[in-house]
Amino acid sequence: MAVCACGCGEDELTKQLDKIIDQYRGQPGGLIQVLTKAQELIGYLPKWALTSIAKGLGVSLQDVYSVVTFYALFSLIPRGRHKISVCAGTACYVKGTKTVLKTLQEVLGIKPGQTTPDSRFTVEIVRCIGACGLAPAIIIDGKDVHGRLEPEQIPEILEQYA
């Protein structure tokens, strides 16, 4: 059974999702709004939620999947509490993205696109995060930039995220 971060079971999540669907039914861009809110609620977009959304908004499940797979912000698999985005833009790549990624993989035991078994971290590769002067850089949870990274700093940085 699906459980959200606050401990709600699938029944409670379904009730809350139905309220969201009701709120956006018939509105332009309603599907994206509902998917965004559903992901905030559940943490990712499981199949049961996509089925409810399709039914509730009167669109095909195929259309829902098309939108979910088109936008990188949506995830069909559970994500960790903290998202580590590794910059693979040109400046970072030249200055060591490969080493940063290799170290993250060794420390966390996961590859890009995966989540640690304890649901603590998800690692993803992104394009330039706008901190080229700090290359190589990562950004955690979309707000904490860690730049001029040396591989040996990575375990200590990760310690800051429970």
Minimum gap (Å) between residue 121 Cβ and ligand FES: 20
Please give the Cα distance from 3 to 15 (Å, whole number): 13
According to the binding rule CB under 6 A, does residue 131 interact with ligand FES?
A: yes
Neighbours of 24 (CB within 10 A): 20
Q: Is residue 128 within the footprint of ligand FES (CB under 6 A)? A: yes
- Which position among 53, 101, 135, 138 is part of the footprint of ligand FES (CB under 6 A)? 135
Determine the residue type at 2: A
Distance CA(13)–CA(75), nearest Å, equals 17
Q: For CA atoms 79, 85, 90, 92, give the dihedral sign.
A: negative
Number of residues that bind ligand FES (CB under 6 A): 12
Binding letters toward ligand FES, positions 78-117, x by CB under 6 A = ---------x-xxxx-------------------------
- Residue 43 or 136 having the CB closest to ligand FES: 136
Residue of 30, 45, 104 lying closest to 79 (CA atoms): 45
**Is 56 or 147 the residue whose CB approaches ligand FES more closely?**
147
State the residue number with the nearest CB to ligand FES: 89
Taking the C-alpha atoms of residue 2 and residue 18, their distance in angstroms, rounded to an integer, is 16
Give contact residues for ligand FES (rule: CB under 6 A): 87, 89-92, 128-132, 135, 137
